[in-house]
Amino acid sequence: MSPSTCILVLEDDPLIRPLLERWLGEAGYRVTASVGQDAKPALVIANVADPNSAVAQIQALQAYAAPILVVSARFRRGLAGSAAAARRLGVQRVLPKPFTRSELLSAVRKALEGAA
C-alpha cells in the first residue's frame, strides 16, 4: 500500500495524539480521527488502556474492516510478547508504549503489508 492511505487514529491522550498525527503525516499517511460513510481507513490505530478487558472495544473496531494496530502501555516490550498479544486480541499488530517514531512506522508498514 502507498503511504497516501488513510489511517484512523483513536488515541485519547492529548500529548500522544498530535505526535502520532505528526509522525504519520510526515511519513505521507493521511490521518483522521473519524471516517465518513464513504471513507474506509486502510488501518486503525487504537489505544487500549487495558488489553485484558479490550474485547468489546476491538470487536467494535472490526466494523471498519481494516487491520487494527493496538497501542498500550500495558503490553510487554519484546517481539514474542507482542505477537502473542496480537493473536490473543485478534488484531494485526500490537505496539507497546512508549515507542519511537521508527517503531511506530515499522508497525504501521507491517500491519498494512499483512493486510494485503
Amino acid at 50: D
Write the DSSP symbol of residue 63.
G
Q: Could you read off the pLDDT of 104-114 as tens digits, one per residue?
A: 999 999 999 87
CB 20 within 8 A of CB 11: yes
Dump the DSSP string for 71-85: EETTSPSSHHHHHHH
* pTM across the whole model: 0.86
Opening angle at CA 10, ends 107 and 83, nearest 5: 35
Tell me how far apart the alpha carbons of residues 116 and 104 are, in angstroms, rounded to a whole number.
19
In CATH, what number does 6-115 get? Answer: 3.40.50.2300
Q: Could you read off the pLDDT of 35-81 as tens digits, one per residue?
A: 765 568 999 999 998 877 888 899 999 999 999 999 988 776 665 55
Tell me how far apart the alpha carbons of residues 24 and 21 are, in angstroms, rounded to a whole number.
5
C-alpha cell at 3: 503511504
